[in-house]
Structures are given as C-alpha cells and as structure tokens.
Amino acid sequence: MKLFLKLDSNILAKKILEEKLINFNVKYEVTNSSEILFLENIPTETYQQITTLLEEYGFEIIENQKNILVQKIKDAIIEMVFSEDAPNVKSSVYLAEKLDHSYGYLSNIFSEVTYTSIENFIIIQKIELTKNLIINENLSLTEIAFKLNYSSVAHLSTQFKNTTGITPSAFQRIITKRREIATKNIN
C-alpha cells in the first residue's frame, strides 16, 4: 500500500525547530520557518549545540546580512505565491512594502547572492505550486492560471514548459498514468 502525501515544508520546519529547541531550556519564539528570536542571551556553548543540532536537520545558520535579506525575500515570495489569499498587487510592490526596501535594492542583492533574478525565483515557485495543484487538487489549467494571476493559460503553459521541459498537459498525463498504475498495483 502506498500513501500519497502533501507536504507543507514551512509547517514541518517550524515543528522541528520547536521540538528541538525546547530541550535547550532557553526562551525563544519561532517567528516563521526560517527565523528564531531568542528572548534572552544564550551561552556560546549552547549556541554551538543548537547550531550543530539544527544542521543535522538541514538548517543552516545565516549570519551574513545580505544572505539574511535574501532569505527574507525568498520567504516573502513563498508566502505570496502559496498563500490562499494572495495579495493582488505586483510582486515588486509587495516585496518593497513587506521588506521596507526599494525593489531595485532587493533585486540587486538577490541577484548578487543567488545569481538569478527575483522574477525567476517567483516563476519557479509558481510552477511548483502549479505542479502541486495538478497533483493534489486536480484543477484545470484554466483554474490554475486564474488562481495564480496569469494573464492566460498560454502564458502559464509557456513558463511551465520553459521551467520543467514539458507542457502542463503532458505533466497531467504523466500524473494520471502514474495513478492508474498505482491503482492497478493496489488491486
């Protein structure tokens, strides 16, 4: 028997952080999946232990200010794209307002650190959400294009193909075929 799971990595990350930090007997607040606010000074040895433990789970402590800002940009984009009630404003306006910096500055820092543009990162996130919606929600491409504020299904299809190498329709067929095979194997 197979289980098909839908994973929310933000919830998973927050849960892991909360479960692991409670053992250190320090006052903290997990503000989101990539930010911890310590409410008291912690000894260097404890900090090292926390860092080592979190690295075992794939967390990396970011200490460079540019990298911190890039992570905040990524978090804001993921929040914007994956939110059920996504804001109906341009991403540049949303990011500038949310992070309290000009979009030009955010864009320059992001490109300098990641070697890609904010726009490319947004497209990648939208395509990931599109794949999730095709797999888990069984939505039509028209519904998905509307939900993600694409101007047309053709625009979504072009970005999907440019990012994944296949059309969304081909992706849907692959998922349908895999489900048919899985159903046959269960019976």
Give 171-179's long-range contacts (Cβ < 8 A, gap of 24+).
171/131, 171/134, 172/134, 172/141, 175/134, 175/135
What phi and psi, each to the nearest 5 degrees, are found at residue 60?
-120, 130
Q: Please provide residue 89's backbone torsions phi and psi, each rounded to the nearest 5 degrees.
A: -130, 165
Stretches where the chain sits below pLDDT 50 are: none
Cβ atoms of 27 and 40 within 8 Å: the answer is yes
Per the structure, the complete domain to which residue 44 belongs is given by 10-61
105 and 137 share one domain: no
Based on DSSP, count helices (H) and strands (E) in the chain, helices before strands. 9, 2
Q: Cα(74)–Cα(93) distance, rounded to whole angstroms?
A: 15
Return the pLDDT at 125: 94
pLDDT at 56: 86
Give pLDDT, residue 84.
Answer: 76
Final residue belonging to a domain, choices 75, 97, 115: 115
**Has residue 56 been placed in a domain?**
yes
Predicted pLDDT of residue 127: 95
Residues 75 and 127 in one domain: no
Give yes or no: residues 102 and 79 share one domain.
yes
pLDDT confidence of residue 87: 65
Tens digits of residue pLDDT in 4-35: 777 777 778 888 888 888 888 888 887 766 77
Q: What is the pLDDT of residue 86?
A: 64
In this structure, are residues 141 and 135 in contact, taking their beta carbons and an 8 Å threshold? no
Q: Which two tokens stand for residue 131?
A: 């794949």
